[in-house]
Structures are given as C-alpha cells and as structure tokens.
Amino acid sequence: MIKEYLENWTGLVNTVKIGATPQEGGTRRKTITVGGEKTLAFLFKEGHLPNKPVIAYEIWDIKPIDWPEELTNYYSDVWSDPLDWAEKVANVYKADLLCVRLMGIHPEINRDIDYELNFIKNLLKRVNLPLIIVGCGDDEKDNTVLPLCSQITKNERCLIGEVTQDNYKILTAAVLADGHNIIAQSPIDINIAKQLNILISDMGLSFDRIVINPTVGALGYGLEYTYSIMERLRLAALNQDKVISSPFICFVGQESWRAKEAKARQDEFYSWGKESRRGPLWEMITAVSLVLAGADILVMRHPKAIEKIKEYIELMFKNNF
C-alpha cells in the first residue's frame, strides 16, 4: 500500500475579517473572513482550509479612461455615476465584496476632496457590502484623502490601502484608530513584505489586520514572479513565520486588462482568436494561477470572468468544505 506523503505544517495563515454588521457597530449586511489556511491551495486532505478565496468587484469613483471595449460593454451604462456602478455590481452581478479605487483624487484629475468623501458616504448608504478602499497610487494625495475616508467609514471594518515601505505611517495610524484593516504592498520581494509587516505591527496594528499585496504580474507579463513569491511566502507562513503569515490580495483585473492579449481586437491580431473570449480568459487564467499560489482576495473586473472563477472555487471546495 502506498502511504500518502503529508507535510506536517505547524503554522497557519492569519485570519482577517472585512466588514462590520450592525451588531458589530457597522452597517454592512455581512462580513467576509479570509485566511486561516493550514495547507497549500486545495490540499484538503492535508490541512484545514476554513475560508474560500473571495472575489471583489473593482469599481472606480470616475469613469475609467482606458478600460477596453470588452469591459465597457458591461459597465458603460453606469459610468456616469459611480454609485450606480456600485449598485449594479451589488444587485445585478451579486458581488460579495466591493473594491473602490479612488482614481479621481489623482493629481492629473484632482477631484474635489469633499466630492470624494460624499461619494464614500453615499456608497455606504446605497450598498451594504463589505468594502475595500484603495487610493490612486500618488503618495501625497493618498495620504491626504485615505485617512479622511478611514474616518468617515469608522467601525465599518474596511480593508484600506495601500501602504508601502516608504509610506505607511499616516494611513496605518488612521486605520488603527478607526478599526479597519490595511493592505501592505511590496514589490515582488519577500524581504520587503516582511519588513513592512514588522513596521506596521510596530505601530500597534496587529497582524490579523494586515493583508499583503505581493504585486501582481498578469499571465504572460511576469505572472511567474508573483506566483513564486506567493508560494514562498505561503510556505513560510505554514512553517510558522508569524511575521508574514498574512492573507494575500491580488489585483488581478487591473493587471490582466493591461495585457495586449486581453485587449487587442481580433482584427489587429487575427491569429489570437476572439477578444470577447480571450480577454476574460486572460483574467481567469491569471486568477486561477494566483489562487493556486495562495491568493485569498482577488480584485477582478469582468463579470463573466468573475462568475467562472467563483464556479471554479465552488467546484474545488465541493465535498471538501
């Protein structure tokens, strides 16, 4: 008889909870818990995997400038008002989680701060899903606006980001004060990921409120780097390296839809096949690869791709949950 080879993992991934219900002092309809893995992806016979990977719909506070036609087809009817966009993904596409990217605060666009804060306030009223809020990537603007967003969503237990090794103090302090979780971004680098988690926790934010963004490369565009960094981080977590035992958030949609293979129309590249299928497929394959590497939260864009990945995850967990 063959004796199966089971690894004896002694560590586990931290559990992070997003969203707060009225009982918990928030206004969200439900909460979402990620992390807690005691083995690698889908190896149910080896260790407990208490939480399924979840998908967050990415929405913006402004009409996106460079989203390809394949995405425009699904969203252009609600782009005149980001609140309509949020409602559409919540009600029509039955999103579990919402990721709002505040592109409008970028210096090149420079939306009024009050306008942005009003948008967030109204978003809380119109959609009662747990929220992820991310900035525009400009440190200065993010440091001005995100702490205010943190304040007005106090006690909703959002996931807010992102902080980096060179810019973490201001947002970490705000998130700590207002009861949220934080996204720690590191550039495909284990040591920086580790260092940043230490810096954040030194400020008093506990490890169970940190989610790591390992930085995503899409299929064909550096996917293998992200894949291996995540696998290494996850193995470290399972071997009890407490400092980097954080769940992962992966911005799959953002990266996948930058790929030429996702965007290009068939009349430009005839041999690549139909873009209506190729685009979502590019996002899906990127997502599945990262789920296998241990992704906990996938931030995605295409409704069809999201639906399929959900189905994939359900099938993988079937009879194992």
Partner 1 sequence: MSLSSLEIYKLLPKTNCRQCGFPTCLAFAMQLAKKAVSIDKCPFLSEEAKKTLEESSLPPIRLITIGKEDAKLEIGNETVLFRHEEKFYHPTGIGVILEDDLPDSEIIKIIKKIKGLEFERIGQKLKLDLIAIRNRSSSLDGFLKVIDLVVKETSSFSLVFMSQKIDFLKKALELYSGLKPLIYKATKDNYLELTQLAKSYGIVLVVSAENLDELSLLTKELNKMGFFEIVLEPQADSVSSLLWNLTQIRRLALKRRERSLGYPTLVVLEDTDKDLEILFASTYLIKYAGILLINTSEPEDILGILTLRQNIYTDPQKPLQIEPKLYPVGTANQNSPVLVTTNFSLTYYTVLGEVEASKIPSYILSVDTEGMSVLTAWAAEKFTASSIVTAMEKANLKEKVSHRSLIIPGYVALMSGELEERSGWQVIVGPKEASGIPSFLKNL
Contact residues: partner 1, CB under 8 A: 1-2, 4-5, 42-45, 187, 219-224, 227-228, 231-232, 235, 258, 260-261, 271-275, 277-278, 280-282, 284-285, 288-289, 292, 308-309, 311-312, 315-320
Q: Which of helix, strand or coil describes residue 206?
A: coil
In the complex, what is the shortest distance from the CB of residue 192 to partner 1, in angstroms, rounded to a whole number? Answer: 11
Q: Residue 5 or 140: which CB sits closer to partner 1?
A: 5
CA distance 299 to 301: 7
Q: Residue 155 or 320: which CB sits closer to partner 1?
A: 320
Q: Residue 41 or 149: which CB sits closer to partner 1?
A: 41
In the complex, what is the shortest distance from the CB of residue 317 to partner 1, in angstroms, rounded to a whole number? Answer: 8
CA distance 207 to 209: 5
Q: Residue 22 or 273: which CB sits closer to partner 1?
A: 273
User: To which H or E segment does residue 78 belong?
Assistant: none
Core vs surface per residue 258-290: b (16+ CB within 10 A) or e? ebebbbebeeeeeeeeebeebbbbbbbbbbbbb
Q: Residue 78 or 291: which CB sits closer to partner 1?
A: 291
In the complex, what is the shortest distance from the CB of residue 316 to partner 1, in angstroms, rounded to a whole number? Answer: 5
In the complex, what is the shortest distance from the CB of residue 308 to partner 1, in angstroms, rounded to a whole number? Answer: 5
Prior bond of 162 cis (ω within 30°): yes
Length of the chain: 321
What end-to-end distance do the CA atoms of the chain give, in Å? 27
In the complex, what is the shortest distance from the CB of residue 288 to partner 1, in angstroms, rounded to a whole number? Answer: 5
